[in-house]
A and B are shown apart, each in its own frame.
Chain A
Amino acid sequence: MSIVLEAHGIRKQFPGVLANDDVSFDLKKGEIHVLLGENGAGKSTLMNVLYGLYKPDGGEIRVNGQAISMSSPRDAIEHGIGMVHQHFMLIPVFTVAENIMLGMESVRGLALDEKVVAERVRELSRDLGMELDPNAYVHDLSVGVQQRVEIVKALYRKAEILILDEPTAVLTPQEVEDLFKIMHDLTNRGVSIVFITHKLKEVLEVADRITVMRGGKVVGSTTPSEISEAELANLMVGREVSLTVDKAAAQPKETVLEVSNLRVLDNLGTVAVDDVSLTVQAGEILGIAGVQGNGQTELVRALTGLARVSGGSIRLDGQEVANASPRRITELGSAHIPEDRQKDGLVLPFPVMDNLVLNTYYLPPFSQGLVVHWDRALENANQRIEQFDIRTPSAMTHVGTLSGGNQQKVIVARELSRPIKLLIASQPTRGLDVGSIEYIHGQIIKRRDEGVAVLLVSTELDEVLQLSDRIAVMYRGKILAVVPAAEATKESIGLLMAGITEKKPA
């Protein structure tokens, strides 16, 4: 098969990082070529170079055998390259049709001709076995549908080469299956696809060929028949990693957290958490599965005192804490690993040392009266850095300059280094590399075995399935079901995440 797209010796330097170091890559007509690598490996950078968004510092790009110079996405589009970005490039307040035509508008006289565009959008989406309403506003659509808009947007520009940058990160398992179907439809029609991911299972399912990147370099090229999941993981991370979580059966004891009929409004005043009741026992992990945006964020914010509770009760160790201050909840023995670590978990311009005592600095031994004993905080920091293997030049380094994995370790170190009864962990491993994930999962299991009640919120279904003892599925603000982990399968939870509850036979 002919090679449609070829990158040769691409180099891209960012301040302080060599994001692409002599990277070569090629794509054959009609194939799905997976580009695999951990966060920060340089995958998006390479694709942005191929799409004309970044100017490479060296190397050559060929389309259909011809060397081309790319200075803007316009050049890429002209050569039939389309890209669905990791963060969608749609304008929320525009309609589907407006988003799709933007930059390639049809006009009659001076006015936009929306009818022609709408017709073409309907046609293209029907070809792919889906229905897109050209007049719907993008902000009203689910992420899955938004992604289809992105795909149709590329096809509208007559893309023959489609780059999908981590398209599955935001989808439910069913949506992932649908996406794979669409991808195969497209390749059957001769479209060639670059598919970027760091999820190993998907790779083996869809790839025709696989290229693995690490630290800005290509470290291997293979096909699914030649390699196993474990070997892929080792190649991607560069060392032996364990993909499974080892844990003993849970020994649940007394109830630590009891939530009844909880109601929380989001900042627009709509009901985000709707009549939720749940309990978490000491020594067990309750996992909350669900697609992003189904009320998990608001639930956690209410439990940690960061959002107003507008109905129901939250009892922590027997005490009512609905609408209590975050400090009171913390002092009652609740630890919080927040969803957005940079916004809610750390003060980025502060040193590691300060961040490690953010919730204890006013207590002995760090404070006496009005005086803070920084020497003790420093001593504490050095111990934690050692104990939790935080990779930082020193305790005085600003936390904002650390990598995502190490920032998360700072939070974990702070939250787990005091006596706690409850751990609320929200997306604890989002965006982290396999090595850090392994470590943080280990820490969570360790606390459970010590008798801490753990509430785990994650949109990664695999994570919930691996760690939890019981699984609750959240959909549109409600808990649809709570099932023992032993009885849960990826498929059954996936259906619930999409809001489908099986009808019981009458």
Chain B
Amino acid sequence: MNKRRFYFIAAIIILLYLIVILIGSAQISPLVLLVSLLATTISVATPLTLGALSGVFCERAGVVNIGIEGMMLTSAFFGWFGAVFLNTIWSVPPLASLLFGVLVAIIIGGLLGLLHAWLSVSLKVDQVIGGTVINILAIGITGFLNRQLFFEKNSIFGGQIPHAPGVLPRISIPFLVDIPVVGKVFEQQPIAVAAIVLVIVANFVLFRTRWGLRTRAVGEHPRAADTIGINVYKMRYWNVIIGGMLAGLAGAYFTIESVPSFEPLMTNGRGFISLAAMIFGNWTPFGAWAAALVFGAAQAFQINLQQFRAVIPPEWAFLQYSYVVGMVPYILTMVILTGVIGKTVAPAADGTPYEK
């Protein structure tokens, strides 16, 4: 990520935070407010970061994946179902059930990745259409099964919304967490921590390892890779499967880490915002993470401002309308995508099937 982009991101986040702190300081101490803003930012950014990493792996290998949204939604459902099933039917303790649910979500994501790879690498279906198929499939399957499994009289749960295993507990980072007030930032749920670790891992894998070099090669110039004996199809398959697994983990965030329930359409466009973050981040893990944090900050801005509606000064009256602040994250997405902060460059063979 270049300097200009970094400053741009830092500036936006600071600006959003400052507005909230200026308004809210009438009621809450700025430091406490800052900690709460940071916590919301990191939490909201988690599925976006993972979704963007999913996109980075697929597109670096040359496969456009707009099915991330659908992969997230499907994984969210099956992960939730797995956790609830273990917990209620087999009476497995909550934590073990939840971890199993995460595993299910990752596997489901991987399988959808495999489906997408099969469509776009082997069958050479137009990749945008392939991704759309997955998105539509996801809405249908999760909506239908949600009704059948949880709400039908004679379903396994007997038409009762099952007692939930709850959400993944927070883990705290030793020592840092003991700092007064600010320490709370270092107390996060596991998938949020995993997302940050995965950013670092993904960056290393893509830019420092043999796997990453070959992945980028098949995404830039598959024929060149082929002429030196790299198996283009195999590299693309595996990277799309890895991407699917990352989207699956993002899905687990919704039902196993954020709230203990599944609702139809609950991913609510996050998969698409992930793709925006990936593009803004110029197809790099750190760039994508930074962009995800901007969206997280915008969300934190929105949530907090609604709380302080009563104390918004009259000259900022427009901020009292929830639809005005509610638009902020989406307006930011559009502004960022117009490329005001310089052009991004996609991998050269992104979206093009390879013909031998």
Interface string of B213-237 (1 = CB under 8 A from A): 1101100110111111110000000
Complex alpha-carbon distance, A250 and B229, angstroms = 55
- Cβ 8 A contact of A103, one of B209, B216, B230, B348: B230
- Asked if A73 is at the interface (CB within 8 A of a chain B CB), the reply is yes
Complex Cα distance A77/B210, Å?
19
* Contact in complex: B224, A89 (CB < 8 Å): yes
On whether the beta carbons of A83 and B227 are closer than 8 Å, the reply is yes
B139 to chain A minimum Cβ distance, whole angstroms, is 37
Interface of B is mostly: helix
CA distance A157 to B230 in the complex (A): 14
B220 touches A85 (CB 8 A): no
Q: Name which of A92-100, A297-305, A327-335 contacts chain B.
A: A92-100
Interface contact A112-B228, CB-CB below 8 Å:
no
Chain B residues near A104: list those with CB within 8 A. 228
Given contacts A105-B210, A105-B213, contact A77 B220 (CB under 8 A): no
The answer for the CA separation of A111 and B214 in the assembled complex, in Å, is: 13
Please report the total number of A residues contacting B with Cβ < 8 Å: 26
Q: Which of A241-299 contact B (CB under 8 A)?
A: none
**Least Cβ–Cβ distance between A135 and chain B, in angstroms:** 15
Residue of A nearest to B224 (CB): A89
Given contacts A73-B228, A73-B229, A111-B208, contact A102 B217 (CB under 8 A): yes
Residue of A nearest to B211 (CB): A110
Which of these, B210, B224, B228, B230, contacts A107 with CB under 8 Å? B210
Interface residues of B, count at CB 8 A: 19
Q: A112-B208, A112-B209, A112-B210 are in contact. Are A93 and B217 (CB under 8 A)?
A: no
Residues on B with C-beta less than 8 A from A51 are 227
| Cβ-defined contact, A98 with B213, below 8 A | yes
> In the bound complex, do residue A89 and residue B227 qualify as a contact, i.e. CB atoms below 8 Å apart?
yes
Bitwise, A143-160 to B at CB < 8 A (1) or not (0) is 000000000010001000
Residues of A within 8 A of B208 (CB): 110-112
Roughly how many angstroms separate A83 CA and B228 CA in the complex, as a whole number?
10
- A13 CB to closest chain B CB (Å) equals 16
Contact of A53 among B204, B221, B226, B230 (CB under 8 A): B226
What chain B residues lie within 8 Å of A153 (beta carbons)?
228
- Nearest CB of chain B from residue A275's CB, rounded to whole Å: 28
Known: A94-B217, A112-B208, A112-B210. A102 touches B228 (CB 8 A): yes
Cα A89 to Cα B210 in complex, Å, equals: 19
Q: Are A103 and B221 interface neighbours, CB within 8 A?
A: no
Q: Is the interface of A mostly helix, strand, loop or mixed?
A: loop
- B228, chain A: closest CB distance, angstroms: 4
Look across to chain B and name the residue whose beta carbon is closest to the beta carbon of A73: B229
Q: Closest residue of chain A to B227, judged by CB?
A: A89
Q: Are A73 and B226 in contact (CB under 8 A)?
A: yes
Q: How far is the CA of A72 from the CA of B220 in the complex (A)?
A: 20
Q: A101 contacts which chain B residues (CB < 8 A)?
A: 213
Q: Which residues of B lie under 8 Å from residue A112 when comparing CB positions?
A: 208-210, 213
Q: Is residue A74 within 8 Å, beta carbon to beta carbon, of the partner chain?
A: yes
Q: A105-B210, A112-B209 are in contact. Are A85 and B217 (CB under 8 A)?
A: no
A91 interface residue (CB < 8 Å to B): yes
Query: What is the CA–CA distance of A107 and B210 in the complex, to the nearest angstrom?
Result: 8
Q: A105-B210, A111-B208 are in contact. Are A72 and B221 (CB under 8 A)?
A: no
- A91 near B228: Cβ-Cβ < 8 Å: no
> A90 at the A/B interface (Cβ < 8 Å)?
yes
Q: How far is the CB of B177 from chain A (nearest CB, A)?
A: 31
CA distance A91 to B220 in the complex (A): 7
> Shortest Cβ distance from B212 into chain A, in angstroms?
8
Within 8 A of A (CB), among B175-231: 204, 208-210, 213-214, 216-217, 220-221, 223-230
Question: What 5 new A-B contacts, CB under 8 Å, besides A89-B221, A103-B229?
Answer: A92-B221, A92-B348, A102-B213, A103-B225, A111-B208
15 contacts between A and B (CB under 8 A): A53-B226, A72-B229, A73-B226, A73-B228, A73-B229, A77-B228, A91-B216, A92-B348, A93-B348, A94-B213, A98-B213, A102-B224, A103-B225, A103-B228, A112-B213
Residues of chain A having any CB pair with chain B under 8 Å: 51, 53, 72-74, 77, 83, 85, 89-94, 98, 101-105, 107, 110-112, 153, 157
Closest 8 CB pairs of A and B: A74-B229, A103-B228, A89-B224, A105-B210, A73-B229, A89-B227, A111-B208, A91-B220
